[in-house]
Amino acid sequence: MARIVRTDRELELPGVDAALRAAGHELVLLPDGVSEDGLVRELRGADLLLMCYTPVTARAIESAPKLKGIVKYGVGIDAINLEAAQRRGIPVVNVPEYAEGTVAEGAFALLMALAKKFRPIQHAMDSKGWIWPSSEWLASDLGGKTLGLVGVGRIGSNMARMAQGFRMRVFGFDPYSAFPTGVEKRNHLKDMLAECDFVSIHCVLNPQTRQLIGEAELRSMKPSAFLINVSRGAIVDEAALLRALQERRIAGAALDVYAQEPLRRSGHPLSALYAMDNVILSPHFTFYTREAMARLEADTLERCLEVLEGRPVLVKSRDPRLRAQTRGVRFQD
């Protein structure tokens, strides 16, 4: 019997939990926001750690002498101290493929909602019962508009395909990915931003992309342009974004991710966004569909079984930080 710790229990994985318990393993579920001390305490004697959002620090990893693997049930690995795991020879794996199309669909839905002014129109309908066509409700077509992708990996490529179906022109900034057909490569981020009607962020968070979209980049955008972020909040300088929105230097934004989660109506650096009709706020939900969660559970359980049975863990991600591992892993071609 193995001891398995799963953090972020609010994100339900009933199939994974049931399968691990049915196999006779001890499963400890920890809440979102568990302290480092709490995680350290529960990892003593643990064989496997499942995590989604909870930071996994070097201290937490070093406090777990029996730990055989860390499985991120999701994509982003920025919350895991990979150097500490590699020093211990503990394989780290994520689940990168379960929601590629799903998140792109969510991002495109947010783009459409911004273009069509769904939020302010709904607010007006809720308060007035009916409104008539006037200039304040005038929306935008997507056909003929330009979408700029910051990151053209799996999700960005899906987003490009959807945009092309609406006859949008698609630009991409990504020094590392191959570009799909129809996406025009741009080598300079600020130059691309200046051309775009919509900008959608799809790169991973790492030291090179942290606050990649800062004050200068936001000033490069058209006053009529919209920003969509479904990747990681810290890729954007959120204080600079808030100023740009308050000063009407960009037309609006749709956000599914935030550097500090959860977002709150008060006491949060971005609380002022709740009052803005040109901003759509989503609670990190673009991945959350029945189909994507079924794929996530199946892939997560497969990775867990590899760790528990002592087999090399399959790394499907192309992230070089995961591809740098040399012990206890195998790589998908």
The residues that are catalytic are: 232, 261, 284
Contact 89, 327 (CB under 8 A): yes
Q: Coil, strand or helix: which one is 192?
A: helix
Please choose, from the candidates 207, 204, 165, 206, the residue with its C-alpha nearest in 3D space to the C-alpha of residue 182: 165
DSSP 8-state symbol, 236: B
Taking the C-alpha atoms of residue 212 and residue 206, their distance in angstroms, rounded to an integer, is: 10
Burial class (CB in 10 A: 0-12, 13-18, 19+), 280: buried
CA angle 281, 110, 105 (to 5 degrees): 125
Contact 48, 23 (CB under 8 A): no
